[in-house]
Amino acid sequence: MKVLILEPFYGGSHKQLIDIILNRLNPSEYELITQTAKKWHWRARSSALWFSQQIPDNSSEFSHLFCSSVLNLCELVGLRHELVKTRKVVYFHENQLVYPVQETKDRDYQYGYNEILTALV
């Protein structure tokens, strides 16, 4: 078993969770690819494209893919079809459909929609 771990927002509680997981795995059991914890909105919108270019060509060796819901998994699988059969585990840190905002008109529903598509994948 080898796990591909992708984290578009590698900081704060996202980093803490991944570090706990990594402490329980041997380095030969995973590959970690991250982006810095800056501008989560931009990471949520663009990280699938970036990760699609960073994942090694031998991605069929991964039995599992682990990521947070900041990554639009639907887009990533569309860009890297060989990941379709890889088992996926998604950590949903926050529900973007109900996350508190100052005013309802300020809510960008695209993030919640991306989470729904990620769950469906």
Bigger pLDDT: 71 or 1? 71
Q: Per-residue pLDDT for 110 more than 90?
A: no
Helix axes 40-54, 109-120, angle to 10 degrees: 40
Question: What's the rounded mean pLDDT across residues 91-107?
Answer: 69
Helix (H) or strand (E) holding 66: strand 64-68
- Rg for the chain, CA atoms, rounded: 14
Query: Model's pTM, two decimal places?
Result: 0.87
Domain that residue 96 falls in: 3-120
Beta carbons of 118 and 90 less than 8 angstroms apart: yes
Task: Kindly indicate the confidence band of residue 105, based on its pLDDT and cuts at 50, 70 and 90.
Answer: low
- pLDDT of residue 120 exceeding 70, the answer is yes
What is the pLDDT confidence band of residue 104, given thresholds at 50, 70 and 90? low
Report how many domains make up the chain.
1
Which residues are paired to 5 by β-bridges? 32, 66
pLDDT at residue 6 above 70? yes
pLDDT-derived band of residue 7, with 50, 70 and 90 as boundaries?
A: very high
Query: 């990280």: which residue's tokens?
Result: 47
Answer positive or negative: Cα dihedral of 43, 63, 15, 32: negative
Q: How confident is the model at residue 117 (pLDDT cuts 50, 70, 90)?
A: confident
